[in-house]
Amino acid sequence: MFLNADRVDLITSAIGKAKILILGDIMLDEYLFGVVNRISPEAPVPVVEITSDRFLLGGAANVAANIRALGDEPLLLGTAGEDEASVRLNQLLKEKRISSRYVVTDRTRRTTIKTRVIANNQQVVRADRETVHELDLETEKRVFSRFLSVADEVRAVIISDYGKGVITKSLLEKVMDVCIEKDIFVAVDPKETHFHNYKRVSVITPNHHEAGFAYGRRIRNEDDLAEVGNGLLKKLQAKSILITRGADGMSLFREGSEATHIPTFAHKVYDVTGAGDTVIATFVSAIAAGADLAEAAIMANAGAGLTIAEVGTATIDARQLRAELVRNLKNGILHKTASG
């Protein structure tokens, strides 16, 4: 059940041989870094003196960046506006060696930008520029057509739903029908308000707040966790559910098996932005490389522990993942993983 050194080496060595499609809401993350030395005379808010700025891939694009960093080939499918932000998006995709050929231009939408102001390593405020209406029928057809054009090539599909309108119920149903017919592994990073649309998936990766909200029961203890995890598994007819629990690690629920609880591997938490993207990307890359569900969950947990030690969305490669897993093996952390 638990990962050992041989399995770590075997799986991480096999990462990098798969095409993985990422379907979802593509975003830009803008970071404004500065310092605070005074309070504004206009309102009781800090004045941030900006010293630097940075743009990073966000949303589904950050999942693609994580897949690329691990070594697999990401096929990024979604929409972007016809605006200045889309030009910057394409530049970043090119820098990360991610093709933009499957990104559909939608002139009725703006490219989503999330702007975070960081002062003294703390987020002060976030401002969003976005369009959140659902795709119109014609754009949805174009997205699905591009999905069909590569469905025979991919080992897995990641649905990255941030509730910005790309993952419509009808698009999701059509994609799932094809994936089930072709036996393609499907992983979903869910939006809680769409939770019950994600039927028959291979794995869904909510945090404990999203899982509790979707099931209608707040997770306060292990009994609540078991009820929510097993209950959602049945309701969604899913093969597995991986509930991320912050400082308490993760819990994996599977068809016909006891739950597996994995302790956190985090060293120090600086920024949880994008941690869910790393979890699902690492999980799916591990599955594509031959890991079972429990092994993939342990590897995803280790990956997330590395990225939240960075400020801003971060990625890891297979070499870093292997080193972290080996370190945890030496420290006996992986052997604390328990079923039940």
CA distance 273 to 179: 29
Q: Are strands 240-244 and 122-129 parallel, antiparallel or unpaired?
A: unpaired
277 is catalytic: yes
Q: Which two tokens stand for residue 319?
A: 């070499």
Q: Which two tokens stand for residue 184?
A: 């393609």
User: Nearest 5 degrees, angle CA 244-CA 280-CA 241?
Assistant: 50
Catalytic residue among 25, 29, 277, 317: 277
CA distance 280 to 217: 24
C-alpha distance from residue 317 to each of 142, 174, 285 (Å): 32, 33, 11
Do 23 and 167 contact (CB within 8 A), yes or no?
Answer: yes
Q: Which two tokens stand for residue 267?
A: 């060293």
CA distance 322 to 302: 9
Do 80 and 61 contact (CB within 8 A), yes or no?
Answer: no
SS3 210: helix
CA distance 226 to 153: 37
Q: Which residues are catalytic?
A: 277
